[in-house]
Amino acid sequence: MTPAPTPHIDPAKTHLLKEYKHDSPLLGCRFDPSGQFVFAGAQDNNVIRWHLDSGKKTLLTGHKSWVRALAFAQRRGEEKKGKEGEKRTSQSSSPCLLFSADYAGRILAWPSSAEGPKPAHTLEAHHGWVRALAVSPNGSRLASCGNDHLVKLWSVPDGGLIHELAGHACHVYNVVFHPDGKHLISADLQGIVKVWDLAKGAIERELDAKILYKYDPSFRADIGGVRSMALSADGTLLACAGITNVSNAFAGVGNPLIVLFDYQSGKQKQLLRPKTPFQGTAWGVVLHPTGFIAGVGGGNGGMLWFWKADNAQDFFSLKLPTNARDLDLHPNGRHLAIAFFDGAVRIYSLEK
Amino acid sequence: MWCSYACGSSEHNISRRGFFATALGGTLGALALDPLTRPAFTHELNKQQKRVLMIWLHGGVSQLETWDPKPGTKTGGPFQAIPTSVPGIHVCELLPYTAQRMHHLALVRGLNTAEDDHGKGYYLMHTGRRQEPAMKWPHLGSVCAKLLGSSDNPLPGYILITPRGNGGVNSEDAAFLGPRYASVALSDGHAPANLDRPAALTEAADQQRHEFRIHANQRFLRSRRTAQTEAYTHSYDQAAQLMRKRDLFDISKEPPTVIDRYGRHDFGRHCLMARRLLEGGATFVKVMHTNYDTHHENFDFHIEQLGEFDRPFATLLDDLHDRGLLASTLVLVLSEFGRTPNINRNYGRDHWSRAWSIALAGCGIRGGSVSGKTNADGTAVTEGQVNGGHLFHTYLSALGFNSKKNFYIEQRPIPIADPKAAPIKEVLA
């Protein structure tokens, strides 16, 4: 799994490369910036680290609830990687911190490559679930969001609270930093995407992803939300993933959808849907540096889809062994990690 | 079995007097002597009158996200257990307000109803019996309307506040007890239609019309009296009295601060209406909160639904207690069944009736008690297993009835509660 500078990528040739197993369903997964490890958050409250070459499995134990959000901050601040975006091609192997967050409102910071990782510090971050984390491009700030309707900014070096951004009216599901370092993007249950001016700590504008939300009058409940969010490396495209066309909230009867925005104008550029009908939610999305978009879904099984930005229908899809719950792109751009309900992280190769 | 005739004979008429283990006579006799004590008398009578509040969590609420949490286990889900006002009893973190009223509540954690179908589970939890081809059993609400209600109460004996639907009467709920004890649904908490006299109709003209109808009815009933015609006649009298009590259905009569305490969402409004109705003399009020049928995204949906349930329910308990009504009001928090300990691939929990829980409070209930126990991952009852029949006996016992008694329909004895079951003594005061 050594990073290669000039990958020969062909999504239509995607195939399973490796599989790493845990004995509890997984919720989220991320490669570390060095590309040596893949991390996953699980329903047994553990974070699991696998060394990609050796397969060595290490448990990071300390959370009190389920873990989905993972993000890395490199101490020298060269290359950073947020939960939902900022996919880079870092070759760095410098020490870095892993931030993991749980549904009990806590964020733990870990030395990500240590032999027996212990939490370096703990943040009592949110009231209720922490849904997502992201690290700023210069590595100095951590953003978190959660069920208390808040987005919070933290100092990476000391874990101090820098700013609390209030403005969402419901659970905040995702957060990413824009590569310009001046803006933060957050998205919520109701599909409202807010762009924050970090210098002012104020909302600059809103984008409309409400197609990913519905209030189901039969069940009297909210369904949907921006379940995954990613930016292109140049910051021109923003993708929000989730479920749409919901006809039965409590059975999850609906279809996956990725709303692709032109970030500058804030307008929807494309609604990316599976070509073959699929019932479920798009739980993960990444934008590949070569221009295609990959998404995974779970519902009645699992699927991996690939789209081009100018076409609403996928140009290739791959049936997965079971429900997929998250997706990440390796720093080398050649591999995808997918977290599954069956406790596995599977690594897929995009190479010809 | 349907009610063919309600003749009012001693065989048919199962009166309150016959079933109450406690008598009101002493209180009534003493207070009735002094007219100056009338307000106090009304208050005292209201406290003595027993009534029932049922909160129905429609679709099947998860016992693991409410009354029997199992944090840190494979089946426990992401939520924590929190301490309550009773040392040693923990409930799910989604019920912080209710947790502080645990001293009023009793939990039944050993429930095994062995019925995973919505319709059948609903029937079982309302009647204490399984569905039978040859017999329809009355709902608890109808039974209470019969046993606790009085003929001079203008309010329907069994009031159902639903978040949707068309409202109206559902006679099937009363089965052989007859349509007079059927549920009357208030759709979205709206008052029954036409409670106000039409503007064009004067009071005098209305009275004349009423008297003429009584005259015609009496002539008709001399030869064609049935339970249905009797209920029909009664409904007119009831409607006339109900019109005089129409303010009970209008929660805007409450101060804004009170409305805020309950919450301005549907369930909050409906709980406040329930309190007004119970305070105004209603016998049985059922408030439905929907929906908990969370095969998909169980945890997100329970955050939302229980977030809506918790505070209004706790406020309602407080208000009943503060008004001195909780001791005479049996409170039930029920559902068709619980949800699977197993968490499915869509973060959902499915139907599960083998090991689940309900909560009780108020009249005849020992607050802060727990009956039954489940194993570490909540998949089976390990102690104090009970079913829907036991619950029905428990409700009747809590209200002061001998639950082993019979109804007599056409001189045929019909056990009020399943004879194979018995009250759950651990939760009775």
pLDDT digits (tens, 9 = 90+) for A314-338: 999 999 999 999 999 999 999 999 9
Per the CB < 8 Å rule, is A252 touching B297? yes
b/e code B221-249 from CB counts within 10 Å (16+ = b): eeeeeebbebbebebeebeeebeebeebb
How many other CB atoms are found less than 10 A from the CB of residue B259? 15
Spatial distance between the Cα atoms of B269 and B256, rounded to a whole number of angstroms: 12
Shared-domain flag, residues B197 and B213 = yes
pLDDT of B410 > 90? The answer is no
Q: What ipTM is given for this predicted complex? A: 0.93
β-partners of residue A337 are: A328, A347
Shared-domain flag, residues B204 and B319 = no
Contact assessment for residue B271 and residue B261, using Cβ atoms and an 8 Å cutoff: no
Within a domain: B6: no
Classified as helix, coil or strand, B145 is helix
Q: What is the pLDDT of residue B166?
A: 72
Spatial distance between the Cα atoms of B289 and B335, rounded to a whole number of angstroms: 10
Shared-domain flag, residues B286 and B353 = yes
Higher-pLDDT residue of A8, B320: B320
Shared-domain flag, residues B122 and B269 = yes
Indicate the length of chain A as a whole number.
352
Shared-domain flag, residues B161 and B219 = no
CB-based burial of residue A217 (10 Å sphere; 0-12 exposed, 13-18 middle, 19+ buried)? exposed
Mean pLDDT, residues A88-102 taken together: 70
Per the CB < 8 Å rule, is B343 touching A43? yes
Taking CA atoms, B323 is separated from A17, A217, B231, in Å, by: 68, 35, 33
pLDDT tier for residue B31 given thresholds of 50, 70 and 90: very low
- Return the closest-CA partner of residue A73 out of A114, A32, A36, A41: A32
Q: Which of B116-120, B347-351, B406-410 has the lowest mean pLDDT?
A: B406-410
Mean pLDDT, residues B121-127 taken together: 98
Q: What is the pLDDT of residue A75?
A: 56
pLDDT tier for residue B11 given thresholds of 50, 70 and 90: very low
**Based on the structure, what is the number of domains in chain B?**
2
Beta strands A301-308; A292-299: pairing state: antiparallel
Within a domain: B3: no
Which of B187, B291, B293, B300 to mutate to test binding with chain A, by most A CBs within 10 Å of its CB? B300
Q: Could you say which residues from 172 to 211 on chain A have a Cβ atom under 8 Å away from some Cβ of chain B?
A: none
Contacting residues for B239 by C-beta, under 8 A, at least 6 apart = none
Within a domain: B8: no
pLDDT tier for residue B2 given thresholds of 50, 70 and 90: very low
Shared-domain flag, residues B295 and B368 = yes
pLDDT of B12 > 60? The answer is no
Within a domain: B137: yes
Cross-chain CB nearest to B78 (options A103, A220, A251): A103
Q: What is the pLDDT of residue A19?
A: 98
pLDDT tier for residue B136 given thresholds of 50, 70 and 90: very high
Mean pLDDT, residues A135-157 taken together: 97
Q: pLDDT tens across B63-105, in order?
A: 999 999 999 999 999 999 999 999 999 999 999 999 999 999 9
Shared-domain flag, residues B343 and B317 = yes
- What is the layout of strands, in order, in the sheet containing A47-51? A26-31, A37-42, A47-51, A57-60
pLDDT of A1 > 60? The answer is no
* Residue B113: CATH number of its domain: 3.40.720
pLDDT of B36 > 50? The answer is no
How many other CB atoms are found less than 10 A from the CB of residue A73? 25
pLDDT of B20 > 90? The answer is no
How many other CB atoms are found less than 10 A from the CB of residue B28? 13
Q: Which residues of B touch A322 (CB under 8 A)?
A: 345
Within a domain: B9: no
The tokens describing A181, both together, are: 């370092």
Shared-domain flag, residues B106 and B163 = yes
Classified as helix, coil or strand, A77 is coil
The per-residue pLDDT of chain A, averaged, comes to 93
Within a domain: B74: yes
Shared-domain flag, residues B120 and B206 = no
Contact assessment for residue A150 and residue A168, using Cβ atoms and an 8 Å cutoff: yes
Spatial distance between the Cα atoms of B98 and B105, rounded to a whole number of angstroms: 9
Per the CB < 8 Å rule, is A219 touching B78? no
Q: What is the pLDDT of residue B193?
A: 75
Which of A250, A253, A279, A322 to mutate to test binding with chain B, by most B CBs within 10 Å of its CB? A250
- Chain B touched by A170 (CB under 8 Å): no
Spatial distance between the Cα atoms of A93 and A22, rounded to a whole number of angstroms: 26
Within a domain: B396: yes
Q: Which residues of B touch A128 (CB under 8 A)?
A: 303
Cross-chain CB nearest to A222 (options B80, B304, B343): B304
Q: Which residues of B touch A (CB under 8 A)?
A: 59, 72, 74, 78-80, 163, 266, 290-291, 293-297, 299-301, 303-305, 343, 345-346, 348
Per the CB < 8 Å rule, is B80 touching A65? yes
Taking CA atoms, A86 is separated from A79, A122, A162, B203, in Å, by: 9, 24, 22, 75
Which CATH superfamily includes the segment(s) A11-349?
YVTN repeat-like/Quinoprotein amine dehydrogenase (2.130.10.10)
Residue of B nearest to A279 (CA): B346
Which of B74, B265, B308, B346 to mutate to test binding with chain A, by most A CBs within 10 Å of its CB? B346
Mean pLDDT, residues A197-220 taken together: 95
Q: Which of A98-107, B190-199, B249-258, B280-289 has the lowest mean pLDDT?
A: B190-199
Shared-domain flag, residues B296 and B167 = yes
Q: What is the pLDDT of residue A352?
A: 84
Shared-domain flag, residues B44 and B105 = yes
pLDDT tier for residue B3 given thresholds of 50, 70 and 90: very low
Shared-domain flag, residues B296 and B311 = yes
Range of the domain at B254: 16-191+250-427
Classified as helix, coil or strand, B263 is coil
Contact assessment for residue A338 and residue A282, using Cβ atoms and an 8 Å cutoff: no
Higher-pLDDT residue of A315, B196: A315
